[in-house]
Amino acid sequence: MKRPREPIGSDSESEGPIDVGREGELRQMARPLSTPSPSQMQARKKRRGIIEKRRRDRINSSLSELRRLVPTAFEKQAEMRTEEDLLDLEALAKAEGQFQAVVEREEEKIEAVSAHRHVEM
């Protein structure tokens, strides 16, 4: 809604109508929102899928480029995994050796008990 300016001889500094409200904007906001049709929703989902695929592709290509630019970091990471695997294998071998020693001691005890019973009979 606009009102006319005061006459030229007044204290007002500018000329032309003065904007005192935003009736047009308020009318648009008051209008109920329409629900999208099924075809619009389907088109939106399709666009969304395409946009997401492009985003993932862009991320993957950036990661590939980083791998190409920083190969030593990945090599070090692989070396660390290999060292950790070796340590795990060494610990496993040590545990296996200890287990085998326990098994042998138990077998010796069983043999001793079995021999002792055989002698008594």
The model's pLDDT over 16-30, given as tens digits with 9 standing for 90+, comes to 555 555 555 555 555
| pLDDT tens digits for range 54-71 | 999 999 999 988 888 877
Asked if residue 58 is part of any domain, the answer here is: no
Number of domains in the chain: 1
In a domain? residue 40: no
Residue 18 lies in a domain: no
Residue 9 lies in a domain: no
Q: Let me know if residue 48 belongs to a domain.
A: no
In a domain, 51, yes or no: no
Domain that holds residue 98: 85-121
Is 31 domain-assigned?
Answer: no
This prediction's pTM: 0.32
Alpha-carbon dihedral 53, 59, 61, 65, rounded to 10 degrees? 180
Residues in CB range of 36: below 8 A, 6 or more apart: 44
103: tokens are: 């098994």
Residue 111 lies in a domain: yes
